[in-house]
Amino acid sequence: MENKRLGFVILSISVLASVLAFGFMGVLGRQTASLQCYPTSECQRVESLLGLSHLAIGLISFIGALGIYLLFFSTSEEAILKRLEEEKSMKIEQDKFELILKAMDDNEKKVLKAIKEQEGITQSTLKFRTDLSKSKVSQILTDFERKNLVKREIKGKTYSVYLTENF
């Protein structure tokens, strides 16, 4: 939020400075026209000030661009920290899942991976995705329920299977 406030202040200052610089350039242009700019010392002074004002416009443009960047595109530290925390928690969840998989046999791994890939998968779909028999899938899910790894909810003539909050 602080970056947005700073961006707004910088952008406001650059707009104000632009108005002043363009006003000054207009005055110099009128002086050039009134003097008809023959090679005199007065004319050279006006021309050098005009060249300096072009440099000022470039600097003001840079400051304005910085203000726009801070206002619209810069992410705050809170957003960065939040994203890092989310990535960390996802990594911890993935490590926890991998650790649980290490303690299982191949059939249990197939079933648990299929449930993780598709939350709310039905037992009949689970049977086809894992190439296991209906009784084997049911036996594995009953074992998982006792270990509080999954929960089943009735869905028609079959069950929908979900991972529990432990994951």
Are residues 64 and 10 both part of a single domain?
yes
Task: Compute the distance between CA of residue 12 and CA of residue 6 in angstroms, rounded to an integer.
Answer: 10
The model's pLDDT over 121-155, given as tens digits with 9 standing for 90+, comes to: 998 899 999 999 999 999 999 999 999 999 999 88
55 vs 19, 31, 58, 106, 146, CA distance in Å? 15, 19, 5, 71, 76
Are residues 68 and 10 both part of a single domain?
yes
CATH number at residue 130: 1.10.10.10
**The predicted structure's pLDDT at residue 73:** 76
User: Per the domain annotation, does 96 fall within a domain?
Assistant: no
User: Per the domain annotation, does 84 fall within a domain?
Assistant: no
Q: Find the mean pLDDT for residues 29-58.
A: 75
Domain range enclosing 121? 105-163
Q: Is it the case that residue 61 has pLDDT exceeding 80?
A: yes
Are residues 63 and 115 both part of a single domain?
no
Are residues 61 and 115 both part of a single domain?
no
Are residues 58 and 113 both part of a single domain?
no
User: Per the domain annotation, does 115 fall within a domain?
Assistant: yes
User: Per the domain annotation, does 92 fall within a domain?
Assistant: no
Are residues 7 and 61 both part of a single domain?
yes
Are residues 11 and 53 both part of a single domain?
yes
User: Per the domain annotation, does 79 fall within a domain?
Assistant: no
Q: Please classify residue 23 by burial: count the beta carbons closer than 10 Å to its beta carbon, then call 0-12 exposed, 13-18 middle and 19+ buried.
A: exposed
Mean pLDDT of the chain: 85
pTM score, whole prediction: 0.52
CB 125 within 8 A of CB 104: no
User: Per the domain annotation, does 100 fall within a domain?
Assistant: no
**Residue 9 per-residue DSSP state:** H
Last-in-domain residue among 30, 52, 74: 74
Task: Compute the distance between CA of residue 51 and CA of residue 24 in angstroms, rounded to an integer.
Answer: 12
The model's pLDDT over 81-129, given as tens digits with 9 standing for 90+, comes to: 888 999 999 999 889 889 888 989 999 999 999 999 998 999 889 999 9
Q: Which residue is associated with the tokens 């108005």?
A: 19
User: Per the domain annotation, does 154 fall within a domain?
Assistant: yes
Number of domains in the chain: 2
**The predicted structure's pLDDT at residue 64:** 87
**The predicted structure's pLDDT at residue 54:** 81
75 vs 9, 14, 84, 110, CA distance in Å? 17, 22, 13, 41
Are residues 64 and 111 both part of a single domain?
no
